[in-house]
Amino acid sequence: MSESPQALVVFSPSGKRGRFALGTSVLEAARELGVDIDSICGGRARCGRCQVEAVEGSFAKENIVSGGDHLTPMGEAEQYCLQRGRLQPGNRLSCQAQLLGDVRIDVPATSQVHHQVVRKDYEVHDIELDPVVHLYFVEVEEPDMHRQAGDLQRLERALEKEWGLTGLSCDLRVLQDLQPALRTGRWSATVAIRNRQQIIAVWPGFHDQAYGAAVDVGSTTIAVHLCDLTRGEVVGSAGSMNPQIRFGEDLMSRVSYAMLNPEGAAQMTRAVRQAITELIGRTADQAGIDPADVLEITLVGNPVMHHLLLGIDPAPLGTAPFALATDHALEVWASEYDIEVHPNARAYVLPCIAGHVGADTAAVLLAETPWDRDEVSLIIDVGTNAEIVLGNRERLLAASSPTGPAFEGAQISSGQRAAPGAIERVRIDRDTLEPRFRVIGGERWSDDPGFAEELTEALGDQRITGICGSGIIEAVASMYLAGIIQHDGSFNPAAAARSPRVEARDRSFAYLLHEGEPRIYIEQNDVRAIQLAKAALYAGARLLMDHMGVDRVDRIRLAGAFGSHIDVTYAMALGMIPDCDLAQVSSANNAAGTGARIALLNRASRDEVERRARTIEKIETAVDPNFQRHFVEAMGIPHSTQPNPELSKVIDLPEKTKTQRAPRGRRRRRK
């Protein structure tokens, strides 16, 4: 062998190199050297996944002169792929191109089996593409009376011979499709195999469509990202309101509905499953694919959403001791959830962590991986309950805090969900007490020129309808900074003399934020509701810090829609979150959805999140006296009467509050 003429081939970016007999295909050389090159068709010039580029030039280090002419010229198969757009101009199929001389071969990321899928959210590592479902093209022996073996057994033999897959099992529905598939495909077929173990689908001949859906079931909205399992890209995204809203705005009202109506839970289960099917259908339309090519689904949601989705009664989650039916991950047929995709697609539901800390939090953790850091991260997902995780490489603790729905705009006099027409940002001038604000749907502030016109164009006649969670937080914080309310949350009677916007009411005051139709006020009760909610959130975080034995966190990540809308400065001014370098407080954006996508694209991540969910320390806030103490102490605005050096860097804090006495509320509650 060593006497036949050989060529040197050097692969980048791996740097692997070796000498091979002339005529060896680039793919063979790559496999022999352990260079990671993708393939569905197994070297038959069909899938285009193995394409590479021959780099032109002299390379002193490698001591070679490389060029495309050191490979055999393009044949018919490659020309065909080129015409069909499966092969990039200038690239070659490594299964077809054979060595004629020394050559340097560049393997583009998209041709690598385990390539990195780039995540848009900053600061966090990319996803390594290694989904549970893979496609394999095979040619199967025709049946032979003299060597009898079933179609499935001959398929399995081909999978073993061509792809090294052994010990496979097979869904009944695949078996029902197998005979016609093999015969239509003239004894060639593509199979989808899950976990290198289970044959879940078969198509005649060559098939390269395999998709997955990452589904984030929120109480308010449901979001679906459709991903190409062979490339890792998101090919379609869609969201809709959770149709369960008609049974109850917030989680507890849905649990009540389930408890009061015998068919209630089943109705809500049907509604959410239909919505998921519908959204997957929409993303498939966007991508121009067949929903039957969706072969895997991942699902995340809080515990109540999780139970309703699974068809499990959520009633036990409504009362102490808040027992989950299961906190482990689940894997079932999507058809068991009545989700209409490929009939053998599996749905993977991430684990729940505790009674109020759900699979959504597990997904947030998978996206954030606080376990990879030495710094202590505080990760907060705000909803009807705030789900809070604290920790680092050493330890992780989780709790949920009963913030109530005020942060979602509920129980606020002019409150509403974050939707077009809602005031989302608020500033108040400290001298004039005049507000300025921004509304969802527009880019301009209310004192910018063209504000009204922009809004009218965006929203039509409807215009400003209320104030959403982030708006109310900024409003209350700004009212404090402007001296309209005091540290204990009560209106400062002196403010009424400074501006007609502070109106005296029967035994109280209200601040007129917007003089339109409807008028939008911030009332004393609204301030109280926000105080209660933020005190609960702060107390939950503090309790975890106590358990971990730290009095400071290194970074804070705010997950969810709320976290991406809020101005962290005002959140800290309000005393929602513990003190922290403001530069280290940031939004985790849609971390739950990202976590669902990671679990879809990388199978090792499932083991990771299951393992972490088991070892995380669960802290129950409801029965902890320290939680009560923190809660009462955190009622004031801001949370502490001590100066906050972090905030002082960016906001001019009112001097007098720094020495103000504790609020009445605190004293009353303490007895």
Q: Contact positions toward its own copies, by CB under 8 A?
A: 142-146, 148-153, 170, 172, 175-176, 178-180, 183, 310-313, 315-316, 320-328, 330, 332, 336, 352, 354-355, 618, 620, 622-623
Task: List CB contacts of 260: < 8 A, sequence separation 6 or more.
Answer: none
Helices 303-310 and 359-368 cross at an angle (nearest 10°) of 120
Please report how close the Cβ of residue 183 comes to its own copies at its closest, in angstroms.
8
Amino acid found at 136:
Y
Please report how close the Cβ of residue 658 comes to its own copies at its closest, in angstroms.
38
Closer to its own copies by Cβ: residue 179 or 456: 179
DSSP per-residue letters across 93-139: ETTT-BBSS-EEEE--GGGSTTPEEPPSSTTSPPEE-B-SEEEEEEE
Report helix, strand or coil for 504. Answer: strand
Please report how close the Cβ of residue 253 comes to its own copies at its closest, in angstroms.
20
Closer to its own copies by Cβ: residue 121 or 620: 620
Helices 524-548 and 469-481 cross at an angle (nearest 10°) of 100
Closer to its own copies by Cβ: residue 117 or 251: 251
Which of 356, 666, 357, 629 is CA-nearest to residue 490? Answer: 666
Alpha carbons 494 and 517: distance in angstroms, whole number: 28
Closer to its own copies by Cβ: residue 163 or 322: 322
Closer to its own copies by Cβ: residue 120 or 146: 146
Closer to its own copies by Cβ: residue 89 or 321: 321
3-state helix, strand, coil in the chain (%, to 5): 35, 25, 40
**Angle made by CA atoms 629, 634, 639, in degrees to the nearest 5:** 145
Task: List CB contacts of 520: < 8 A, sequence separation 6 or more.
Answer: 414, 423, 464, 466, 467, 512, 513, 514
Residues in the chain: 671
Please report how close the Cβ of residue 364 comes to its own copies at its closest, in angstroms.
18
Please report how close the Cβ of residue 616 comes to its own copies at its closest, in angstroms.
10
Please report how close the Cβ of residue 515 comes to its own copies at its closest, in angstroms.
48
Alpha carbons 166 and 657: distance in angstroms, whole number: 71
Closer to its own copies by Cβ: residue 48 or 355: 355
Closer to its own copies by Cβ: residue 35 or 352: 352
Taking a C-beta distance cutoff of 8 angstroms, is the pair 295, 339 a contact? no
Alpha carbons 341 and 331: distance in angstroms, whole number: 15
Please report how close the Cβ of residue 312 comes to its own copies at its closest, in angstroms.
5
Closer to its own copies by Cβ: residue 100 or 168: 168
Buried b (16+ CB within 10 A) or exposed e, 657-671: beeeeebebbeeeee
Alpha carbons 95 and 93: distance in angstroms, whole number: 5
Please report how close the Cβ of residue 336 comes to its own copies at its closest, in angstroms.
6
Please report how close the Cβ of residue 593 comes to its own copies at its closest, in angstroms.
24
Please report how close the Cβ of residue 547 comes to its own copies at its closest, in angstroms.
13
Cα 8 off chain centre by: 45
Closer to its own copies by Cβ: residue 143 or 493: 143
